[in-house]
Structure 1
Amino acid sequence: MGLSKLKEKYIDFRLVLLLAGFYLMFDIVLIGKIAYLQTFREMEAENFIWSKFLLHNIAFDYVIVLSYMTLIAISTKRFLNRNYSWVKIIIIHTIFSLLIGMVIRFLGDLYSLIFGRLNLEDYDIAESIYAFVYVIDLNFLIYFAMVFIIYTYYYLRQIKVAEKRHSKLESQLVTTRMKMLTSQLQPHFLFNTLNSITVLTDLDPAKARDTIADLSDFLREILYNSDNNRISLEEELRILEYYLNILNIRFSDHLKIYKNIDEDLLQYRVPALLLQPLIENSIKHGYSYDHTDLEIKISVYREAGSIVIKVENNGQSLVESHSHLIENGLGLKNIHDRLETLYQESYYFNISNKEDGSGVETIIKIPAQR
């Protein structure tokens, strides 16, 4: 991992600057207090030297605290990413709030010993502990004030990221519905479907009415329903059924579709309008002069903490790579973009030839979420 990526992943310099500004204000208030006490309250200044105070008590302390809180900010980001419980987070921060006083005291004593401000013979561990305990409440308050800033910063940033993701998903879902509608309204689709309905009107009027209803319901779902970016698997399968019914009429005995669905997953949520483009892609690439009869199998099952969606066909093999298909297929690219927006890196999407050469399989793995 490069240095720039490492910084981007673990260190947010705007947050570091925010913490630096907060602690700088604290030091400014401290300097103002001392100046006021010296001027108006005749604070004893016999052994008080401003240069030493600014160098040792402000600059030295400032660097230690800022460095320590930068490490806390990095740790906090990891806590949030790993979804630690609040009880565990509070306990950890309470321990860290005590450690910051110990760290300052230890480094301060070490500094004094190294640079001769304090002789080893004169060093009193009891006095050092007393100095630590004397300001323990102040260190505790300062620490949690800065932790509050850290959590507020990350929380506000997460809200902005979530708003951008939501807006992007809304746009992608609308694009998906429009592309699907445009695809299905192509003349060959409508003409073939309407021709099939015309033939069925004389041969099987009931089936003709059912096909009209399926076409109407399918287009209605694309246009008006499924406004959520994720819907239950049960609802997704219901929408798909309208499309499959139309395909069965159009392709008659040349297309067989099988489904193997784990019913325990019906209430789990999946990206809306996900399956139809996968079926459409299987038909588009599966049929050929050597493959006039096509079988498609749709499988949905659970694997560890993921839902696996697999669409297989026994059609012609692919000559293009997965990445090339994504780049050149509008429906597939939209699926890829939506999965990336919804799940970041927590998903798997791949289209490839089967290992035994019997066709093509599309596999999608997403987190199992209700």
Structure 2
Amino acid sequence: MTFSTLRKKYIDWKLVLLLCGFYLLFDVVMLVKMVYMRTYMAEGGKEFDWSIFLVHNVLFDYVIVVSYMTLIAISTKRFLNKNYAWSKIISIHVVFSILIGLIIRLIFDVYSILSGKVDVANYDLRETVNAFIYVLDLNFLIYFAMVFIIYTYYYLKQIKEAEKRHSKLETQLVNTRMKMLSAQLQPHFLFNTLNSIAVLTDIDASKAKDTIADLSDFLREILYHSDSSKISLDEELRILDYYLNILRIRFSDHLNIVIDIPDHLKVKQVPALLLQPIIENSIKHGYSYDHTNLDIEVSAKEVDGKLEIIVSNNGVTLDKKHGELMKEGVGLNNISDRLKNLYGNNFYFKIKNNKTGAGVQTVIRIP
């Protein structure tokens, strides 16, 4: 494995920049403190050399700490990949937190000796140990603060990656379920329409041919939109028109269907093949011996930023609740499932009796 590959695998430059930024902030706070102390708290004595302080105590320290913590970040990633026990990880970091102080102290001592500022013969190991012990607690806190940043960074990164995978799986699941529901729905259309054609064949062959043509166009539209979970309301109405032509021929003057939808709403997106099963349900349950002529109106309006579609009729009123109807009809239950897949709980779907006491209305409200 090449160095470039290893670098990409183990070094996350965003994390390195985050660590650099954190320690830079620490150094800025320290500099502000030193300026204040030298200005208001210094009581004379040995002259303070700012150049030595900035180079030795800030610049060298910064480079050493950031480099060291970059190595810790690489080690941490390996710890996470290998799933080490937390007791082992904490023990390792405690040792590393002590080592960083020793490393910084030794590098400073070596530099002082090489630069001639400290004579080897006069080197005092006790002074080095005392300096190390003096900042031991501070080094410990800084180290674990940066380790906390490292673990938080990797943890949040893992969460985001898990969310992306989860979102992708949900999308795949929704698409698969939509296709399954669509496959369930299309034969439902086909069987009912073919039954209508069979009846028309004995009554009027010419109308039967027209109905077959409408069915052909209708199926072509279904196939064209087979991979579309949502289409514009205008496209939905165009597809619906082929089905309505079949209904008008079959029911002749006993069925009147009115579409009342403003043009500006026709660009709104709706679930594909939404209206057909609702109208079919209105016809199926609307006719009776007392209601031989059926009027169906399809209307739409915008309510609180949502699209509200209402399909109402003047036929037989309901004697069952909405939940019971959902259990009985494949088409209606299919609509409910598709709305839930597309909008979660952010939709409204209700079948209820008209307030006038005559007929039923189906109300759908979607974003």
- Do they fold alike, i.e. is TM over 0.5? yes
Superposed displacement of residue 144, structure 1: 1.8
Deviations 1:79-123 (A, max 9, x none): xxxxxxxxxxxxxxxxxxxxxxxxxxxxxxxxxxxxxxxxxxxxx
CA-to-partner distance for each residue in 1:301-360, whole Å, 9 max, x for gaps? Answer: 221232111100001111122111110111111111111222221111111111220210
Q: Which amino acid aligns with 2:259?
A: K
Are residues 128 and 257 of structure 1, via their aligned partners in 2, closer, same or farther at CA, if it must alter by over 3 Å? farther
Are the structure 2 counterparts of residues 351 and 129 from structure 1 closer, same or farther at C-alpha, using a change threshold of 3 Å? farther
Match of 1:32 among 92, 97, 115: 92
User: In structure 2, what is the Cα distance between the partners aligned to 1:225 and 1:27?
Assistant: 57
Counterpart residue number, 2:197: 190
Q: Would you say the 8 A contact 2:97–2:143 is kept in 1?
A: no
- Whether 1:179 and 2:188 are equivalent positions in the alignment is yes
The partner residue of 1:160 within 154, 165, 169 is: 169
Alignment of 1:245-256 (within 5 A): 245-256=245-256
Q: Offset at 1:133?
A: 5.7
1:240, CA displacement in angstroms? 0.2
Aligned mates of 2:85, 2:345 — CA distance in 1 = 40
Q: Percent identity?
A: 40
Displacement of 1:198 in angstroms is 2.4
Paired residue for 1:352?
Answer: 352
Q: What does 1:228-247 align with in structure 2 at a 5 Å threshold?
A: 228-247=228-247
Structure 1 unmatched ranges of 5 or more: 1-19, 44-126, 201-207
Residues 25 and 152 (structure 1), Cα distance of their counterparts in 2 relative to 1, 3 Å cut: farther
Q: Secondary structure at the match of 1:227?
A: coil
Deviation at 1:209, TM superposition (A): 6.5
- Give how far 1:226 is off: 3.6
**In the aligned structure 2, how far is the partner of 1:155 from the partner of 1:249?**
51
Match for residue 275 of structure 2?
A: 275
Per-residue CA distance 1:171-227 (angstroms, 9 max, x = gap): 1111111211122222xx112333565265xxxxxxx87544323212333455443
Residues 84-95 of structure 1 correspond to what in structure 2 (within 5 A)? none
Deviations 1:215-248 (CA, angstroms, capped at 9, x unpaired): 3212333455443121111111111000111211
Describe the shift of the 1:289–1:34 C-alpha distance in structure 2 as closer, same or farther (beyond 3 A): closer
Alpha-carbon contact 1:311-1:362 (below 8 Å) kept: yes
CA change 1:199–1:159 in 2 (3 A) is closer
Structure 2 alignment gaps of length 5 or more: 1-78, 104-135
Q: C-alpha distance in 1, partners of 2:286/2:205?
A: 27
Residue 277 of structure 2 aligns to a residue whose secondary structure is helix
Aligned to 2:304: 304
DSSP 3-state at the match of 1:185: helix
Q: What is the CA distance between 1:27 and its match in structure 2?
A: 5.8
Closer, same or farther in 2 for the Cα pair 1:294/1:141, shift >3 Å?
A: same
Structure 1 moving runs of 4+ over 6 Å: 20-24, 36-39, 127-131
> Structure 1 210/42 Cα, relative in aligned 2: closer, same or farther at 3 Å?
closer
Q: Deviation of residue 162 (structure 1)? A: 1.9
Q: Distance in 2 between matches of 1:317 and 1:193?
A: 29
Alignment map for 1:1-370 (pairs within 5 Å): 28-32=88-92, 135-186=144-195, 189-195=196-202, 197-198=204-205, 211-223=211-223, 225-367=225-367
Task: Please identify, of 349-358 and 151-160, the stretch whose mean Cα deviation from structure 2 is larger.
Answer: 151-160
Counterpart CA distance in 2 for 1:154 and 1:256 is 50
TM-score by length of 2: 0.61
Structure 1: distance between partners of 2:332 and 2:343:
16
Query: Residues 196 and 250 of structure 1 are in contact (CA less than 8 Å); yes or no, is this contact kept in structure 2?
Result: no
Q: Is the 8 A contact 1:255 1:293 kept in 2?
A: yes
State the distance in 1 between where 2:321 and 2:98 align: 77
Q: Does the 8 A contact of 1:231 with 1:271 survive in 2?
A: yes
Question: Counterparts of 1:319 and 1:240 in 2: how far apart (Å)?
Answer: 28
Shift of the alpha carbon at 1:29? 4.0
What SS is found at the alignment partner of 2:331? helix
Q: Distance between the aligned counterparts of 1:194 and 1:219, measured in 2?
A: 19
